[in-house]
Chains A and B, each alone.
Chain A
């Protein structure tokens, strides 16, 4: 009798354990494994951007700013709920709930919880200029394209 109840309990524990593992691995499938690394973006020839202007890179949802010193890029995605910002006279404006940012990407008004993200611009190993959305920089760091 002793042994039987032991085997019974062991069997139940085993089945429960197997069931739990199966359930967890099943539920795990609902969470996609996303590539952590963000893809770098080729900037191309910096001279294609007009000087003293923010240019919208539609495909990458970025604004590229170029002046006589250099070039820098800022995310065009509102930190509130992800709408695409429009350029206003002295900054950026969100059409969705009216958040406003200045030209440094700092929140001026509205519900946006964070300042905009500036991304690093560097010369890659192959000599091409790339934007790296994985690396954040401050708003006054520019890539000096001599």
Chain B
């Protein structure tokens, strides 16, 4: 009697055991299976919620007072500076860790074996994290905020570049529609601030919370974390351990570690706050936060192609991965073994060379408009490093699909190459672009303006 009652009693009383199965496979417990990245993300999200509520109490979402209220949080509210710093650094931590989590899930083939829904939810979470960062960015109403969001909202409107070329903007203007929905007007002002505030404190966190619930629930529903096929039918007890209490202590320890790290960084480094927004003078260079500088680099080739077309294609690719690749034999296997590793290395090298070569040409010799002044915008939009890179990557991955007869290898190639390109464009945007978005080897060479 006692035996039957105990486990379920624990489950009912214990929130922890609602998240984990009663018994967890050894493979899932190995640190190298997940590196704990998803859990860390969850903890960071918790920090975001806790610090965010405090910030919300002291912040006022009005263009007149927003900036001053953030200054007050930093200088007047006791402990406010630490709270704000934690909020900022944890949010950037989430961006980094969500991409690491994406990498780990992809390279272990963990979208396979019936996990496609959870992968899709994951991609939505990724988008929500980026949107949360973007909307949070506007709230301090400083120069960075104002111009990053001005640029961002115009990227949303950049479908106009295409509709203008087709001459149909007056009749059909999806770009303007999207921009109006986003910022509630033609330029960034109070309506934009109100909208972003609502998105940032209600809509996005709530969506994230709900999706996270489903995300965690799906893991159990899908039969636990992914594991290699050799463990597939491990129903026996030897390879399954009780989650309670070892896993709980490990995760509690990890939580404390995450808090300590965020707290430590928050004590050392202050979140930036520039001058108050000035709608007449952008900063020069007007750089968005670092994780968007890859896109800003693409946008500097063409607003529509770099800001909308390529990012949307990338997201479509991410969403479609589990539906185009169903080679379940690779599930739970890091890098899909030796042949996978070879594909990864080669496509990374290809991506690196291709992107660097184009950047070299562009920075050294200019691009179409410098060679053929007055060239049609069609060419500027359709032939640039963003579109060429994307096109060739798709081509490469199709060639690999044909040659190897493997959708997993094709996915590895496309995922790896696009990721390498994203990293390079981001690095260029962060460290090698200066005033007027010109190329500089280092910050020291920037002209004094």
Contacts and interface: CB of A to CB of B under 8 A. Distances in A.
B346 interface: no
B184 interface: yes
Interface string A23-49: 000000011101000000000000000
A81 B298 CA distance: 13
Interface string B209-243: 00000000000000000000000000000000000
B169 to A, nearest CB: 11
Interface string B267-308: 000000000000111111110000000001001111110110
A37 B184 CA distance: 16
A96 B150 CA distance: 11
A97 interface: yes
Determine the main DSSP class of B at the interface with A: helix
Interface stretch (A2-10, A11-19, A103-111): A103-111
Choose among A34, A84, A96 the residue with the greatest number of B CB atoms under 10 Å from its CB. A96
Contact of A84 (B282, B303, B369, B436): B282
B186 interface: yes
Contact of A81 (B180, B186, B299): B299
A95 B161 CA distance: 20
A81 B155 contact: yes
B438 interface: yes
A94 B303 CA distance: 14
B437 A34 contact: no
Say which size band chain B's interface belongs to.
35 or more
B436 A93 contact: yes
B415 interface: no
A59 B279 CA distance: 9
Contacts of B381: 113
Determine the main DSSP class of A at the interface with B: loop
A82 interface: yes
B180 A113 contact: no
Interface in A54-74: 56, 58-59, 61
B286 A111 contact: no
Given A81-B158, A82-B154, A83-B151, A32 B185 contact: yes
Choose among A58, A86, A107, A111 the residue with the greatest number of B CB atoms under 10 Å from its CB. A111
A109 B155 contact: no
A27 to B, nearest CB: 10
Interface of B: 147, 150-151, 153-155, 158, 161, 164-165, 177, 180-181, 184-187, 191, 279-286, 296, 299-304, 306-307, 366, 369-370, 373, 377, 380-381, 435-438
Given A81-B307, A83-B282, A108-B369, 18 more contacts: A32-B184, A34-B185, A80-B154, A81-B155, A86-B284, A95-B283, A95-B286, A95-B435, A96-B282, A96-B285, A97-B296, A97-B299, A97-B300, A97-B437, A110-B369, A113-B304, A113-B377, A113-B381
27 contacts: A30-B181, A31-B180, A32-B180, A56-B280, A61-B279, A81-B150, A81-B151, A82-B151, A82-B153, A83-B147, A83-B286, A84-B280, A94-B436, A96-B151, A96-B286, A98-B300, A98-B438, A107-B369, A108-B373, A109-B369, A109-B370, A111-B301, A111-B303, A113-B161, A113-B380, A113-B381, A114-B164
Interface of A: 30-32, 34, 56, 58-59, 61, 80-84, 86, 93-98, 107-111, 113-114
